[in-house]
Chain A
Amino acid sequence: MLLHTINKSPLVNNALSTCLRMAKDGSGILFIEDGVYGALTGTEITAVVEKAMKTKKVYALEPDVKARGVQDRVIKGVQLVDYSGFVDLTTEYDKVESWL
């Protein structure tokens, strides 16, 4: 299974929607950098992410979440990871696809 990283805000970049079209059930989605805006409640793509969470594991890089001051609105069930956890994920999944 693949770990997909998303590093651009899904509100302005379609990488997440294309990723979700192609990603298999059971794969992982990790939001990093500006991608973390995709892991928040109350946005126009929240519902898309919540739907994806039913079949895929969703993570967000906590240092990037905190840097942007949005730690109070992360979608419930999104697993926050630190840098060390990021490394662990890259070993737990078979491969990483870094969407740009």
Chain B
Amino acid sequence: MADEMMEPGGGGVTKKFLYVNRKAPYGTIYALESLEVVLIGAAFEQDVSMIFADDGIYQLKKGQDTTASDMKNFSPTYRALEMYDVEKLYVEKESMDARGLTPDDLVVPVEVKTAAELGDLMENQDVILSF
């Protein structure tokens, strides 16, 4: 049983994992670390959802170009999440409005939900990880 859970794709227990992303992408390491953990969770075939709120929404902004700053542009990786069956990407309406952003500004398709709706989503999870 324990072996099954430790093996990617091994058919172990599936839990609902929610990742809450609230930090902008390059100023701190949170966003990149979150993305790595999300991909690991997905490799273990867990049921993954992601929330982007506050400055975390900027992780998904189109047009990121890090060539002149010598950092890794990891925004294309969000487009690869679909291949790992990570398709439940939610952005908070209040945070989008506060930043003048719409889903057209983002690199991946997202579902816009209000804070209250996201609160319901949180209650309906097995594990919540904040970044």
* Residue ranges of A at the interface with B (Cβ–Cβ < 8 Å): 1-2, 14-15, 18, 21-24, 94-100
Contacts and interface: CB of A to CB of B under 8 A. Distances in A.
B116 interface: yes
Contacts of B95: 18
A97 B131 contact: no
B26 to A, nearest CB: 17
- The winner among A1, A21, A22 for most chain B CB atoms within 10 A is A22
Contacts of A96: 128
B118 interface: yes
A18 B54 contact: yes
Interface of B: 20, 22-23, 30, 53-54, 92, 94-95, 115-116, 118-120, 122-123, 125-128, 130-131
Identify whether the interface residues of A are mostly helix, strand, loop, or mixed: mixed
A21 B119 CA distance: 8
Contacts of A22: 53, 92, 115-116, 118-119, 122
A76 B118 CA distance: 30
B46 to A, nearest CB: 15
A37 B23 CA distance: 22
A18 B130 contact: no
Given A18-B22, A22-B116, A100-B23, 13 more contacts: A2-B122, A14-B54, A15-B22, A18-B115, A21-B94, A22-B92, A22-B122, A23-B119, A24-B123, A95-B125, A95-B127, A97-B128, A97-B130
A18 B53 contact: yes
B115 A100 contact: no
Contacts of B92: 18, 21-22
Give me the 5 closest cross-chain CB pairs, A-B, nearest first. Answer: A21-B115, A22-B119, A97-B128, A22-B115, A24-B119
A24 B95 CA distance: 18
Contacts of A15: 22
A100 B123 contact: no
Contacts of B131: 100
Contacts of A98: 130
A98 B129 CA distance: 7
Contacts of A95: 125-128
Nearest to A24: B119
